[in-house]
């Protein structure tokens, strides 16, 4: 089968690899019909993830049709059109029962080497093996397009998790730092959750224009405080969500948040350590937390909001490619020429 393959630091190719087979009774094999390309894939290609060996198939966002199920799969069958969470979880342990699937001891993340569990081949391929299919996969409802389903599997679940973790309340002033796909979907999620105002902070003008066209107040990093000051009489934002995944950007959140405000980081941080202004956090009684999307837990509520039109995440998708054009599309994504690209098979 054809797949997008990691060939060593900074290099990918599209080539033939062995088609995956069932390895466990709880597995399913999915024929992929659409796969997302994500900022996380750029980390994988750059060699930031341990255990990412040449020959690994990349990608973790996908929709497709089930072509094989193991004997232990009980809720899905061959022929089902399914969406997937970007990571797997057993569905039975106490973490999963509590809705904390990301903390499941058997979690694996597609296409990212050994960074987040046992290595698992990615989904930018004609076929993908899906462990714990009953919990990892979900039938795509008629009211949800495949493009929306791709986003529920990762980027929208990530943005919504940040808003949920921040406890965004009606009327809150929410600052979102970063205007990539996750930042924009965080902005839409905060608006759907009733935020009074969302200030999206982003250096790129086209990304600021996009945010402004989709309900946010857009500001460059230099203008961010002025915008928040005006909205809050100088108090600071109730919530600041950092959606970039860089220590320096995270530090910027402390200058924008109000006393007793909440900071949530939803960017994937590669730095093992980063200083925080401890005395400032203590005196101002800040709440600092981190969020990773949990599509398995969040997809029922996200799908309801999509079916009623409260949220349309597909606005971020601005490019559709095939196996012949995907390598060049990765370069465009890296150069921020596109916000969200999907591979259509
Ligand atoms: Zn992703
Ligand atoms: Zn579990």
Ligand 2 centroid from CA 87, angstroms: 11
Instruction: Identify which ligand lies nearest to the alpha carbon of 91.
Output: 2
Grade residue 273 by pLDDT with cuts at 50, 70 and 90.
Answer: confident
Q: Which domain holds residue 213?
A: 159-290
Among residues of the chain, what percentage have pLDDT more than 90? 93
Ligand 1 centroid from CA 190, angstroms: 20
**Claim to verify: residue 171 and residue 309 sit in the same structural domain:** no
**Claim to verify: residue 139 and residue 53 sit in the same structural domain:** yes
CATH number for the domain including 246?
A: 3.40.50.720
Instruction: Identify which ligand lies nearest to the alpha carbon of 89.
Output: 2
**Claim to verify: residue 227 and residue 251 sit in the same structural domain:** yes
HEC string for 44-85: HHCCCCCCCCCCCECCCEEEEEEEEECCCCCCCCCCCEEEEC
Residues 6+ apart with CB under 8 A from 88: 106, 107, 108, 109, 110, 117, 120, 130, 131, 132, 135, 136
CATH number for the domain including 49?
A: 3.90.180.10
Smallest CA-to-CA distance from 181 within 198, 149, 159, 148 is with 159
> Can you tell me the distance from the alpha carbon of 272 to that of 332, in angstroms, rounded to the nearest whole number?
29
The predicted-structure confidence for 205-231, as pLDDT tens digits, reads as follows 999 999 999 999 999 999 999 999 999
The predicted-structure confidence for 66-99, as pLDDT tens digits, reads as follows 999 999 999 999 999 999 999 999 999 999 999 9
Query: How large is the average pLDDT for residues 313-334?
Result: 96
**Residue finishing a domain among 290, 307, 324:** 290
Ligand 2 centroid from CA 153, angstroms: 18
pLDDT value of position 310: 94
**C-alpha angle with apex 145: 140 to 159, nearest 5 degrees?**
90
From the number of C-beta atoms within 10 Å of its C-beta (0-12, 13-18, 19+), residue 334 rates as middle
The predicted-structure confidence for 140-163, as pLDDT tens digits, reads as follows 999 999 999 999 999 999 999 999
Q: Where are the beta strands (DSSP E) in the chain?
A: 2-8, 11-16, 28-37, 61-69, 81-84, 87-88, 108-109, 127-130, 137-139, 173-177, 197-201, 217-219, 237-242, 257-265, 287-290, 317-321, 340-344
β-pairing verdict for 237-242 and 257-265: parallel
pLDDT value of position 253: 96
The number of distinct structural domains making up the chain is 2
Ligand 2 centroid from CA 338, angstroms: 35
Looking at the DSSP bridge assignments, the partners of residue 36 are 61, 342
Instruction: Identify which ligand lies nearest to the alpha carbon of 95.
Output: 2
Instruction: Name the one residue in this structure whose structure tokens are 């009211």.
Output: 143
Grade residue 246 by pLDDT with cuts at 50, 70 and 90.
Answer: confident
**Residue finishing a domain among 247, 268, 290:** 290
With a cut of 80, say whether residue 53 has pLDDT above it: yes
With a cut of 90, say whether residue 245 has pLDDT above it: no
Ligand 1 centroid from CA 316, angstroms: 13
pLDDT value of position 272: 83
Ligand 1 centroid from CA 278, angstroms: 32
**Claim to verify: residue 321 and residue 195 sit in the same structural domain:** no
Q: Is residue 37 within 8 Å of residue 330, measured between CB atoms?
A: yes
**Claim to verify: residue 311 and residue 271 sit in the same structural domain:** no
**Claim to verify: residue 237 and residue 269 sit in the same structural domain:** yes
State the chain's mean pLDDT as an integer: 96
With a cut of 80, say whether residue 270 has pLDDT above it: no
**Claim to verify: residue 136 and residue 176 sit in the same structural domain:** no
The least confident of 88-102, 125-139, 261-275 is: 261-275
**Claim to verify: residue 21 and residue 122 sit in the same structural domain:** yes
**Claim to verify: residue 227 and residue 306 sit in the same structural domain:** no
With a cut of 80, say whether residue 299 has pLDDT above it: yes
Instruction: Identify which ligand lies nearest to the alpha carbon of 122.
Output: 1
**Residue finishing a domain among 268, 290, 312:** 290
């Amino acid at each position: 089968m054809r797949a997008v393959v990691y060939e060593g630091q900074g290099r990918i190719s599209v080539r033939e690899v062995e088609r995956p087979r069932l390895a466990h009774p709880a597995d399913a094999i999915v024929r992929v019909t659409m796969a997302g390309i994500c900022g996380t894939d750029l980390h994988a290609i750059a060699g930031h993830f341990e255990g990412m060996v040449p020959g690994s198939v990349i990608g973790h966002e996908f929709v497709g049709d089930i072509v094989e199920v193991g004997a232990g799969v009980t809720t899905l069958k061959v022929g089902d059109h399914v969406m997937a969470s970007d990571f797997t979880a057993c569905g039975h342990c106490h973490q999963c029962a509590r809705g904390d699937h990301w903390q499941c001891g058997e979690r694996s993340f597609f296409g990212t080497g050994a960074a987040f569990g046992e290595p698992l081949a990615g989904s930018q391929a004609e076929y993908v093996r899906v462990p714990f299919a009953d919990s990892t996969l979900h039938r795509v409802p008629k009211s949800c397009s495949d493009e929306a389903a791709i986003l529920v599997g990762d980027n929208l679940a990530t943005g919504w998790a940040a808003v949920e973790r921040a406890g965004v309340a009606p009327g809150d002033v929410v600052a979102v730092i970063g205007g990539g796909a996750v930042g924009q979907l965080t902005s839409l999620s905060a608006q759907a959750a009733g935020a009074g105002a969302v200030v999206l902070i982003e250096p790129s003008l086209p990304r600021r224009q996009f945010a402004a066209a989709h309900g946010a107040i857009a500001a460059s990093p230099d203008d961010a405080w002025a915008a928040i000051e005006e909205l809050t009489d100088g108090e600071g934002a109730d919530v600041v969500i950092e959606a970039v995944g860089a220590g320096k950007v995270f530090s910027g959140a402390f200058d924008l948040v109000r006393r007793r405000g909440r900071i949530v980081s939803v960017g994937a941080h590669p730095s093992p350590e980063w200083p925080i202004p401890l005395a400032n956090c203590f005196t101002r009684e800040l709440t600092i937390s981190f969020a990773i999307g949990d599509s398995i837990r969040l997809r029922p509520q996200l799908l309801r909001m999509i079916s009623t039109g409260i949220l349309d995440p597909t606005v971020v998708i601005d490019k559709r490619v095939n196996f012949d054009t995907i390598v060049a599309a990765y370069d465009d994504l890296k150069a921020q020429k596109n916000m969200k690209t999907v591979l259509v098979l």
